[in-house]
Amino acid sequence: MKRARIVGTGRALPEKVLTNADFERMVDTSDEWITGRTGIKERRIASDEEALSDFAIPSAREALELAGIEGKDVDLVIVATVTPDTSFPATSTQVQDAIGAKGAAAFDLSAACTGFIYSLAVAKSMIDAGAIETAVLVGAEVLSKVVDYSERSTSVLFGDGAGAVVVRAEEGEPGLLSVAMHSDGSLGHLIDRPVGGSRHPIKSLESLDSGSDLGYIRMRGNETFRVAVRSLAEVSHEVLADYGVSPSDVDWFIPHQANRRIIDAVGQRLAIPEGRTYVNVERYGNTSSASIPIALDELNRSGELESGHLVLLSAFGSGLTWGASLIRW
Ligand code: UT7
């Protein structure tokens, strides 16, 4: 019986770097505050001309190249994002076209920072059911386009980028061992961006009220922080228990890169052994759905991720949504 396995990874990031020193010139903040509260030192930011697909497409191409798979063999393309190129059509259809996945199914998946985990769950289910053989999953975000750079508490947190994986049906031991997904819409107000849907439609540029914050990411950071730590720890335990292993069996823990303090707190709650948590938040900030696949690709290409390693992924974000996955590399 064929089971789902990740066979390639890729990433693409904007060239432009925004450092904490840059923010010191833009808003009332300091490198000391940002580093101390978040661990972030710099983040990558798309140029005015760049949009989501400018990163989603190259990340997907990289993953396919590493996997040695051609676009024509891809059955499904998912782009997990809340910042697509356009409201519709879905950006995934542009990726499908660019990689030559002729006739493949393609859709965008909206689960904010948890989007990549959700896409893993979809691909695993479809492969395990025998419905598809090969999927390209992209987590990509250009949050800089919806960040208010005059507002210090959210602007310093976010960055842009894309990460991708190729998931394929293979004989032998399964790679995607377990995936869990959850949500709680009653806490939707903790992180949102109201404009752009049917509740606050944008029919013309004039319809955006200047002075309103409805078009920007809004976050109640402190409350979000507390729920994030609890949910990430719980859902991580859930996938570990599902497969009958404990945190000490994990070779690599790759949490969503939102904040160094959240990552450390979750690692402590889970008792992940020292040195097994992958962190790059200092270089990219919070890239939402892109953070886990970017980290996965960095680790994969560094040679530190070895065949047979047990990898735990977990994420948390707007919705609220949260989820985790356990992988045998
Ligand atoms: O990926 C989706 C999930 N999102 C998250 O996981 C984010 C979760 N939240 C967080 O990471 C943290 O809550 C933040 C990093 C956003 C904020 O850290 P905090 O320790 O919760 O700070 P706070 O919001 O309670 O603010 C503390 C103080 C406030 O000043 P007062 O009221 O105590 O005088 C803020 O106005 O820090 C102030 N502050 C800043 N000061 C300097 C807020 N932002 C800044 C800033 N520079 N950039």
Give the tens place of pLDDT for each residue, 115-148. 999 999 999 999 999 999 999 999 999 999 999 9
Give per-residue pLDDT as tens, 277-314. 999 999 999 999 999 999 999 999 999 999 999 999 99
Is residue 74 within 8 Å of residue 137, measured between CB atoms? no
Active site residue 256: yes
Q: How confident is the model at residue 205 (pLDDT cuts 50, 70, 90)?
A: low
- Given the residues 113, 222, 259, 300, select the one marked as catalytic: 113
pLDDT at 122: 98
Q: Whose CA is nearest to atom 38 of ligand 1?
A: 153
Is residue 180 within 8 Å of residue 239, measured between CB atoms? yes
Active site residue 113: yes
pLDDT at 209: 61
pLDDT at 279: 97
Q: How many CB atoms lie within 10 A of CB 201?
A: 11
Q: Pick from 24, 141, 153 the residue to mutate for probing ligand 1's pocket: most ligand atoms within 8 Å of its CB.
A: 153
The amino acid at residue 25 is R
Q: Whose CA is nearest to atom 21 of ligand 1?
A: 222
Length of the chain: 329
Please state, for a pLDDT cut of 70, what percent of the chain lies above it.
98
From 89, 88, 92, 82, select the one nearest 57 (Cα to Cα): 92
Q: Whose CA is nearest to atom 25 of ligand 1?
A: 222
From 251, 240, 252, select the one nearest 279 (Cα to Cα): 252
Give per-residue pLDDT as tens, 56-86. 999 999 999 999 999 999 999 999 999 999 9
pLDDT at 174: 83
End-to-end CA distance of the chain: 18
The pair of three-digit structure tokens given for residue 318, joined into one six-digit string: 């707007």
- Reported in sequence order, the residue ranges of the chain that DSSP labels E, i.e. its strands, are 3-12, 17-19, 42-44, 76-80, 105-109, 134-142, 160-170, 176-183, 191-192, 218-219, 252-255, 310-317, 321-328
For the sheet containing 310-317, what is the strand order? 176-183, 321-328, 310-317, 252-255
Q: Measured in angstroms, how far is the CA atom of residue 153 from the centroid of ligand 1? A: 5
- CB neighbour list of residue 273: distance below 8 Å, 6 or more residues apart: 247, 248, 250
Count CA atoms within 13 Å of residue 203 on its CB side: 3
Q: Is the pLDDT of residue 206 over 70?
A: no
Mean pLDDT estimate for the chain: 95
Q: How confident is the model at residue 210 (pLDDT cuts 50, 70, 90)?
A: low
Give per-residue pLDDT as tens, 6-21. 999 999 999 999 999 9
* Eight-state DSSP code of residue 138: E
Q: How confident is the model at residue 215 (pLDDT cuts 50, 70, 90)?
A: confident
* pTM confidence score: 0.96
Q: Measured in angstroms, how far is the CA atom of residue 54 from the centroid of ligand 1? A: 31
Conformation bin of residue 74: beta by default, left when phi > 0, alpha when psi is -120 to 50: beta
Give per-residue pLDDT as tens, 244-287. 999 999 999 999 999 999 999 999 999 999 899 999 999 999 99
pLDDT at 104: 98
